[in-house]
Amino acid sequence: MWGNGVWLAAFVSMIIPFLISVLAGLKFKKFWARFVFFLICSVLGIGLFIVFGGLWAALHPAEDADGSIRIAFRDQLPGHIILILLMTWFAIWRLPKKIDAQRNRIRTPADPG
């Protein structure tokens, strides 16, 4: 049952920074503004994963009698940090370019008429 907490924490701690990163990537075009949001969203995602891991262990003490929840979160942390960094980088720098290209492709020239 403790695996559900790991997945829920992973989902929430990746979705919130992803949405903030996409909005920041679409709004800001300067490198430093995007870099600051990259750092903020990365720290936010890692912090949320740790907070949700602590909450899950605190709210389910019977399941954590042998420390299995803490072990599960500890084992997932390095991979989760890498995924948060990659996902945030993609959302800030790559996704806005793809969205703009799609917008430009859909726009048709005005019909002179």
Q: What is the domain partition of the chain in residue ranges?
A: 17-100
pLDDT tens-place string over residues 11-49: 888 999 999 999 999 999 999 999 999 999 999 999 998
* Cβ atoms of residues 93 and 34 within 8 Å: yes
Task: Give the per-residue pLDDT at 108.
Answer: 61
pLDDT surpasses 70 at 87: yes
Tokens at residue 11, please? 């989902």
Is residue 107's pLDDT more than 80?
Answer: no
Amino acid occupying residue 97: K
C-alpha to C-alpha distances, 48 to 44, 69, 94, 96, nearest whole angstrom: 6, 16, 24, 25
Angle at 99 between CA 96 and CA 101, to 5 degrees: 110
Q: Percentage of residues in the chain with pLDDT exceeding 90?
A: 43
Residue 112 has pLDDT above 60, yes or no: no
Hey, what are 1's tokens?
């049952």
Global confidence as pTM: 0.79
Pair of tokens at residue 30: 């300067």
